[in-house]
Structure 1
Amino acid sequence: MSSSEDDPESTRPRWAIQFDADGGDADGGQCARIADAVRAAGIRDLVLLAHSAHNDADTTADVDARFRDLFTDEAADDDVGFVSVHWPGMRFEPEPRLTDATESALRRTFPGQDRVIAKLRALVDERPHHFGAVDDVGMMLRRLVEEPLDAPVTAYATDMSDELLPQSEPAMLFDSTDHVCEGFARALEQAHQEAERTEQRPERIEQPGRGTEAPTVSKSGTLTEAESAGPRPADAPADWLSRPEPLTPGTRAFGATESKGAHDRLWDGAHQLLCQGVSYAIRRRAGLIGGTGLAPALGQLTEALPDTRIHLVGHGAGARLVAYAVRGLRTARGGPASVTLLQAALSHFAFAGRLPQQMRGGGALAGVAQSVAGPVVCVYSHHDLELGLLFPLAYRMIGESPSLVGADRMWGALGYDGVQGVEGCLTLTLAGALAEHALPSSGYVSVDASAVVRGGAPPQGAHFDVFHPELARLVRAAGRVGR
């Protein structure tokens, strides 16, 4: 456990809690020491921050500091403290090559897999022309991320309830590797086209009709699923994602000559397959750590600090960790005061009690808002290409098919178009959410931050563009921090 005492330039009380890949407490006494320090510092509001940028110690410290600085710039409360949640996660840079730093991060994230990681880097760097080279990427990637079927982490592979599918492995690891890489290459091309547009699509504000005039489906989202009027992304980020058809183009005709452009395109897709395969494993791990590590830690902190309000903030895969921690809470004293999920790498149906396209079953996180004293605020942006374009391709599980709806609806991400399938979920723009008393006192609320969360190079787009003072104000408003 680290603290602000280790950093003379720190302007706010801060600590860190460390979990291993199985959700285990690093030394068993972290929560007790944090609770003692929080009481001694007179902390009234304790903000727990979870993200996935743990490539190395410097990256972790930098991202932690940038989040804390947002709050420092916004107000000078002396009774607000911060706990950073550290766990074996990582993020990729946008360039289509693996750097030395990224390889080192992979070795830290997947200890004991040095040979496999070295082979994967050699393949995506050298881009060999020999037959089966791309298939080798798929084979090595499966070795890197595979877990025994009875391993606890497999229960966190999907955000849907486990009664829906007996098999929860992502299809991208088992489908034809050539086809999957073609699909990711297609998504990368679309991401670059989006980035090159000089004008962004306008926002659309939809009003639900009444009676026979009520729309069933719109391009901007299904109002009968969201049960609210409000901002929606103008369309799916790529038309082909919204169509109920195979997500990958056909293979080359037998004997056809492959051009250099086609070869490079396929290997760009292979690199993205590696990124998404690793991201899947990290999201899966985040759920496990949230459910088995952070959840009991929150219970201990809540019990030890009855006069301190705890606020959870998660970004990307860190948002998944936070959400599963709330689901795993087992305390009679109530849960956190608020939860804010920034660009969450979660299914947009994760909180749904029933899936609109299924006869039975719902989201794995249905009902978690009941464990939160305040609101569950879900921030999204349709400039997040990582979640809008790549997540739907990576999220499809074995046995699933978008036969009636497009991939963007069935496998869409919470951080791209907000909460779906939850009756009564309020949807607000970021400016609207920051108005006085705009946020509900409990339940779910989607906040469209597209006007602010919009910067970033493809293929990730605005996924990491979350260091804005408006978002710090949103966290404060959600938890009534400082009031």
Structure 2
Amino acid sequence: MSAQHAFHDFGALHFGRRAELDPEEARRVREAVRDSGVRELYVLAHGAHNDDAVSEAADDAFCAILAEAWGDASREVGLLTVRWPSLCFRDEGIWGHGEAETTREEEARPGISAAMGDDLRRRLPDSEGLLSEIIGLLNERPSHDGAFDDLGSALRRLAETPLQDPLTEFGADTEGEILPQADPLMLFEDTKTMCCEFAGVLDDLVESEDEDPGEPARHETGTGDPDAPVSEEGTLPEIRVAGHRPAKPLSGRVSRVGTAAGGGPMGQERDRQEYAEVWRGAHELFRQVVRHVLRRRAGVVGEAGLGPFLADLTDSSGTRIHLVGHGLGGRLAGFALRGLEPGGKDTGRLASLTLLQAEMSHFAFADSLPQQVAGHGALWGLRRRIEGPLVCTFSHLDTHLGVMYPLSAQMMGDTAEMATMSRKWGALGFDGIQGVDGPPDITVDAASERDLGEMSYTNVDSSSLFRSQRIPVGGHHDVLHPDLGRLLRQVAESGKDRDRDRDTDADAEDVEPGTDIE
């Protein structure tokens, strides 16, 4: 990390694919934090770990906005980053890449560049043969349907895990449904059909480039309150049941009722697509299958790795820990809540959790699923493990989470035929935490005037900031703005008064009755 920042730099904590952590490294970090005297410690998890250079660039970029926000007070603040075997595709405009390099990657689509191929083999080392087969197909793009059958078979083998493998438990963000959700539909639907679907979505996003996306689409609930705006996506008044929806996605394909298996435009278009267009969709299908593998890995690293480490760190240091997760790192940070109390013991809590464009279901914290007769979010009930604010930023211009995520996250056996795809399979980073009681969404400007610690959940509409229209990810990586740094500082400071009040109350309880307190 750059030495120009005044933060206490605790470096990076390295996890393996199964949450492996070097005990000696963990001990050094705990001792360094304890001995530093730092009161406020940010722990940052993101998904841009293609190689060391990309990881370093992303860490430095986040550190820079925090350093700017804290100014001279940054000497009181520390930063610890989480390194884990993840990646982002290089055409997404990731940190450390200039515009020219990103453009070269875009021009290589639907093929896979040599650099991207190296990244994939580095992060998925057990699948080198499969990756070579998939990359070969995308680079050669044969003009016959059998090639898509070969692609689908390779993608399924890339993502598959044995039923007894603990990894299978981390494939979904909801639990307790009558029919367990584990296998993405995109892997089992006809492969050419899915490629056509993703190609059509890319066309939708190209068409939307020339349009002013404007303000979120809302309408009245029918409850008589004209100031209670929600989207058109539900059948019940949504204020309490599932919260506000910020906008319709920029593709009508994810606003259809049911799942992709229901046919509709996708099936009708299948035979009319030119092979070049189908392979363009195949590239996107490949991206989403890789993201599925990494989302599953993020859950494992969060629950079995980072969570227990943070529990030990709070015990040993007394430092206020502010966990921040972006994108895939948002899922890792969310699942870390499940590992904070190993063995059921209350071994530590976070001072705050901030989810930046988190790649996770918007029902992850819900105690029930609006379109299901049973089930709840995978993080239901875990709000108690956070002492201070739980903040979720979202942007209706994050097309990766608003459009691609619902298509890739829908599961086999889904029975929510009365719900749209984006409603059932929406992401936190597109429309915030859903299915919980809480205040209305607020903007970044409004958040600066609120006590974020007094609300159970805070959804911050960041569409005015995170609004890049880069295809296909939109504003997903467009998060490094000074306003975000100020929000992260506000989150950290929101719980300070509460901590002081609690300490004062504890001191008062230790005083003998009748004793005067000066």
Report the TM-score when normalising by structure 1: 0.91
Shift of 1:403: 1.3
Q: Which one of the candidate residues 41, 44, 48 is aligned to 1:53?
A: 48
CA distance in 2 between partners of 1:86 and 1:399 (Å):
35
Tell whether the 8 Å contact from 2:196 to 2:269 is kept in structure 1 after alignment: no
CA distance in 1 between partners of 2:236 and 2:186 (Å):
30
CA distance in 2 between partners of 1:406 and 1:231 (Å):
15
CA distance in 1 between partners of 2:32 and 2:348 (Å):
22
More divergent stretch after superposition (38-47 vs 447-456) = 38-47
Q: Which amino acid aligns with 1:32?
A: R
1:44 alignment counterpart? 39
1:446 alignment counterpart? 459
Q: Which one of the candidate residues 195, 202, 222 is aligned to 2:209?
A: 195
Tell whether the 8 Å contact from 1:225 to 1:423 is kept in structure 2 after alignment: no
Shift of 1:218: 3.6
3-state DSSP of counterpart to 1:466: coil
2:257 alignment counterpart? 244
Q: Which one of the candidate residues 121, 129, 136 is aligned to 2:143?
A: 129
Listed as ranges, the gaps of 5+ residues in structure 2 are 93-105, 497-518
CA distance in 2 between partners of 1:421 and 1:481 (Å):
24
Deviations 1:70-112 (A, max 9, x none): 0111122211000100000001124323111211111111113
How do 1:158-197 residues align onto structure 2 when only pairs under 5 Å count?
Answer: 158-197=172-211
2:170 alignment counterpart? 156
Aligned CA distance change for structure 1 residues 49 and 187 (closer, same or farther; 3 Å): same
CA distance in 1 between partners of 2:68 and 2:259 (Å):
48
1:460 alignment counterpart? 473
CA distance in 2 between partners of 1:220 and 1:457 (Å):
26
2:289 alignment counterpart? 277
Deviations 1:227-285 (A, max 9, x none): 2999743323222322215536355799x7x6xx7111110111111000000000010
Greater helix content:
2
Shift of 1:402: 4.4
1:294 alignment counterpart? 306
Q: Would you say 1:412 and 2:413 are equivalent positions?
A: no
CA distance in 2 between partners of 1:196 and 1:372 (Å):
42
1:19 alignment counterpart? 15
Q: Which one of the candidate residues 362, 367, 375 is aligned to 1:361?
A: 375
Tell whether the 8 Å contact from 1:311 to 1:337 is kept in structure 2 after alignment: yes
Shift of 1:432: 0.7
1:68 alignment counterpart? 63
Which of the two has higher C-alpha Rg?
A: 2
More divergent stretch after superposition (44-53 vs 220-229) = 220-229
Deviations 1:29-57 (A, max 9, x none): 22321122123322110000000000000
How do 1:183-332 residues align onto structure 2 when only pairs under 5 Å count?
Answer: 183-197=197-211, 199-203=212-216, 210=223, 218-219=231-232, 224-227=237-240, 232-245=245-258, 247=260, 249-251=265-267, 262-306=274-318, 308-330=319-341, 331-332=345-346
Aligned CA distance change for structure 1 residues 301 and 130 (closer, same or farther; 3 Å): same
3-state DSSP of counterpart to 2:411: coil
Q: Which one of the candidate residues 387, 396, 399 is aligned to 2:413?
A: 399
Tell whether the 8 Å contact from 2:34 to 2:316 is kept in structure 1 after alignment: no
Alignment RMSD (CA, Å): 2.6
CA distance in 1 between partners of 2:335 and 2:208 (Å):
32
CA distance in 2 between partners of 1:8 and 1:213 (Å):
52
3-state DSSP of counterpart to 1:408: helix
Q: Would you say 1:82 and 2:69 are equivalent positions?
A: no
3-state DSSP of counterpart to 1:366: coil
3-state DSSP of counterpart to 1:280: helix
Q: Which one of the candidate residues 363, 370, 380 is aligned to 1:349?
A: 363
CA distance in 2 between partners of 1:250 and 1:200 (Å):
25
Q: Which amino acid aligns with 1:128?
A: P
More divergent stretch after superposition (360-369 vs 27-36) = 27-36
Report the TM-score when normalising by structure 2: 0.85
Tell whether the 8 Å contact from 1:221 to 1:232 is kept in structure 2 after alignment: no
Q: Which amino acid aligns with 1:272?
A: E
CA distance in 2 between partners of 1:417 and 1:16 (Å):
31
CA distance in 2 between partners of 1:237 and 1:37 (Å):
47
Aligned CA distance change for structure 1 residues 253 and 234 (closer, same or farther; 3 Å): closer
